[in-house]
């Protein structure tokens, strides 16, 4: 099966640029697509200094929807949204004042990959962080999700040394130009062995994916630890916060700790203009040795993989049944308003979308948003905005005008409380409701 490779290099123009991200693309482009992917054939998508976060999200969503292995090579810089204190990937027009609207929230990347399998999904990253983002990552880690293999580094602010070089990614590309792609953990170790001076004091990411609980998922060597060319094992970082655990969690499998969801693009016209639905869950299969082969944690049964396999097989009722059971367990163990329970409600909302039922999906996302607001979450909290955006997206895809009229007022009321990041979203709903009333 062909693989998919997304090459993303992004950094602001002008004085806010910390790293020469675009300089790595010619080196990566010189590598054969099959080598970049680790498959016999591959489709390549290249994004050089993109401007619009929604455009990046659309490309990422399409890549995540493609069957077969997915590898994302990502070079850029991270900044912290001072309002919500969430890491963002800066894009070409990002400035400190416009970060919230011109940069790509890191959680969007996590969200789009959440229903894929770590056996065939990998992030290779070379990131540079500003002072605030570096402090955040040091305390909380960089959450890439429990179902994505992650290798690379996050570098601290370079100070006054000028524009930083993406040395890690260039080294990875140089190694791949040999025409051979080893397992990613081995490739990671080989790259670091060549640039030990350049990565001293960096946060080194080495996470094989798989179900985890507790702290955010970060691969991890302790910053500045020695590296060899051997496969890199994840070890807890000092203090433990955000470190990847090596081996399965004690006591057997658990539901991964959910993280805030990334919003879907918000419709800005008639339902025909609405963005395409989210990614199809990938094929779930027992991981075999290969370029994406995960570590020992993969042996732990992951309920998300079971859900994904059921959807792939067209068994939508079975998939929802699995999610419903885990939601019930989460409610009993943690309470109805817990993140664990809300996570499984969000999964079920997505499953309704995969089953082709936008009415049920819209209802579910509306309920999730209301539950989060009732639990005291702010209207501009990422998870709240995401739920409303996804409800709006699904509402725009409802073809039954009576059902659309039924759900429209509730969505409009909720959108009034949660405007989101897209200007004109509430006005769009009101225009749609006028058209629906005229169609009676």
Q: Which residue has the higher pLDDT, 218 or 97?
A: 97
Tell me what the pLDDT averaged over the chain comes to: 79
Does 321 have pLDDT greater than 60?
Answer: yes
Angle at 124 between CA 119 and CA 127, to 5 degrees: 145
Burial (Cβ within 10 Å: 0-12, 13-18, ≥19) of residue 381: middle
pTM of the model: 0.64
Once rounded to an integer, what is the mean pLDDT over residues 114-129? 88
Tell me how far apart the alpha carbons of residues 293 and 297 are, in angstroms, rounded to a whole number. 11
Once rounded to an integer, what is the mean pLDDT over residues 239-267? 35
Alpha helices in 250-378, H assignment, sequence order: 303-312, 316-334, 339-354, 358-374
pLDDT-derived band at 221 (thresholds 50, 70, 90) equals: very low
Angle at 360 between CA 112 and CA 403, to 5 degrees: 125
Does 345 have pLDDT greater than 90?
Answer: yes
User: Phi/psi zone of residue 322: left (φ > 0), alpha (ψ -120 to 50 degrees), beta?
Assistant: alpha
Task: Please answer whether residues 238 and 193 qualify as being in contact, where contact means their C-beta atoms are separated by less than 8 angstroms.
Answer: no
Tell me how far apart the alpha carbons of residues 12 and 15 are, in angstroms, rounded to a whole number. 8
pLDDT at 223: 34
Burial (Cβ within 10 Å: 0-12, 13-18, ≥19) of residue 239: exposed
Task: Please answer whether residues 341 and 330 qualify as being in contact, where contact means their C-beta atoms are separated by less than 8 angstroms.
Answer: yes
Pairing of strands 87-89, 70-80: antiparallel
pLDDT at 293: 47
Tell me how far apart the alpha carbons of residues 237 and 219 are, in angstroms, rounded to a whole number. 9
CA distances from 314 to 283, 320, 364 (A): 12, 11, 20
pLDDT at 160: 66
Does 216 have pLDDT greater than 60?
Answer: no
Which stretch of 183-192, 260-269, 326-335, 369-378 has the lowest confidence by average pLDDT? Answer: 260-269
Question: pLDDT, tens digit, for every residue of 347-389?
Answer: 899 899 889 999 999 999 999 999 999 999 989 887 888 889 8
Does 275 have pLDDT greater than 60?
Answer: no
pLDDT-derived band at 186 (thresholds 50, 70, 90) equals: very high
Does 236 have pLDDT greater than 80?
Answer: no
Question: pLDDT, tens digit, for every residue of 388-438?
Answer: 988 998 999 999 999 999 999 999 999 999 988 777 888 889 999 999 988
Does 237 have pLDDT greater than 80?
Answer: no
pLDDT at 228: 33
pLDDT-derived band at 70 (thresholds 50, 70, 90) equals: very high
pLDDT at 213: 33
pLDDT-derived band at 258 (thresholds 50, 70, 90) equals: very low
Tell me how far apart the alpha carbons of residues 125 and 110 are, in angstroms, rounded to a whole number. 13
pLDDT-derived band at 301 (thresholds 50, 70, 90) equals: low
* DSSP per position, 89-149: E--TT--TTTHHHHSEEHHHHHHHTTTS-TTSEEEEEEEEE-HHHHHHHHHH-----TTSE
Q: Which residues of 314-335 are buried (b: 16+ CB within 10 A; e: fewer)?
A: eebeebbebbeebbeebbeeee
Question: pLDDT, tens digit, for every residue of 7-52?
Answer: 999 999 888 899 999 999 999 999 999 999 999 999 999 999 999 9
Question: What is the 3 state secondary structure string of 298-311?
Answer: HHCCCHHHHHHHHH
Tell me how far apart the alpha carbons of residues 238 and 270 are, in angstroms, rounded to a whole number. 52
pLDDT at 115: 72
Does 214 have pLDDT greater than 80?
Answer: no
Does 210 have pLDDT greater than 80?
Answer: no
Which stretch of 28-37, 91-100, 151-160 has the lowest confidence by average pLDDT? Answer: 151-160
Q: How many CA atoms does the CB half-sphere of 281 hold within 13 Å?
A: 29
Q: Which residues pair with 140 in a beta bridge?
A: none
Once rounded to an integer, what is the mean pLDDT over residues 83-96? 91
pLDDT at 239: 30
pLDDT at 150: 95
């Amino acid at each position: 099966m062909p693989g998919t490779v997304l090459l993303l290099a992004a950094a602001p123009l002008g004085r806010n640029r910390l790293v020469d991200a675009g300089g790595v693309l010619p080196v990566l482009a010189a590598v054969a697509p099959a080598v970049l992917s680790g498959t016999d054939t591959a489709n390549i998508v290249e994004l050089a200094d993109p401007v619009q976060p929604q455009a990046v999200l659309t490309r990422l969503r399409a890549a995540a929807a493609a069957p077969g292995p997915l590898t994302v090579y990502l070079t850029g810089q991270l900044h912290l949204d001072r309002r919500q204190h969430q890491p963002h990937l800066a894009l070409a027009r990002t400035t400190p004042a416009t970060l919230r609207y011109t940069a790509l929230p890191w959680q969007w990347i996590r969200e789009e990959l959440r229903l894929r399998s770590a056996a065939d999904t990998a992030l290779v990253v070379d990131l540079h962080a500003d002072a605030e983002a570096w402090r955040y990552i040091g305390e909380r880690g960089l959450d890439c999700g429990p179902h994505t293999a992650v290798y690379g580094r996050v570098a601290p602010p370079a100070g006054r040394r000028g524009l930083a070089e993406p040395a890690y990614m260039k080294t990875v590309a140089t190694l791949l130009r040999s025409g051979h792609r080893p397992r990613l953990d081995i490739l990671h170790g080989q790259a670091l062995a060549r640039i030990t001076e350049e990565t001293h004091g960096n946060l080194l990411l080495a996470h094989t994916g798989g179900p985890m609980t507790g702290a955010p998922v970060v691969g991890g060597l302790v910053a500045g630890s020695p590296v060899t060319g051997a496969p890199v094992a994840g070890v807890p970082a000092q203090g433990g916060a955000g470190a990847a655990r090596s081996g399965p969690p004690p006591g057997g499998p658990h539901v991964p700790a959910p993280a805030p969801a990334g919003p879907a693009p918000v419709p800005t016209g008639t339902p025909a203009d609405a963005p395409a639905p989210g990614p199809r869950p990938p094929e779930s299969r027992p991981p075999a040795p290969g370029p994406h082969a995960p570590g020992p944690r993969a042996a732990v049964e992951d309920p998300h993989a079971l859900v994904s396999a059921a959807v792939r097989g067209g068994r939508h009722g079975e998939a929802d049944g699995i999610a419903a059971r885990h939601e019930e367990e989460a409610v009993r163990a943690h309470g109805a308003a817990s993140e664990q329970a809300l996570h499984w409600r969000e999964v079920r909302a997505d499953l309704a979308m995969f089953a082709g039922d936008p009415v049920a999906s819209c209802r579910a996302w509306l309920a999730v948003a209301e539950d989060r607001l009732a639990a005291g979450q702010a209207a501009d909290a990422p998870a709240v905005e995401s739920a409303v955006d996804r409800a709006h997206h699904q509402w725009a895809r409802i073809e039954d005008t009576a059902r659309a009229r039924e759900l429209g007022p509730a969505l409009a009321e909720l959108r009034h409380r949660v405007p989101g990041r897209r200007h004109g979203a509430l006005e769009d709903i009101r225009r749609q409701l006028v058209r629906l009333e005229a169609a009676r």
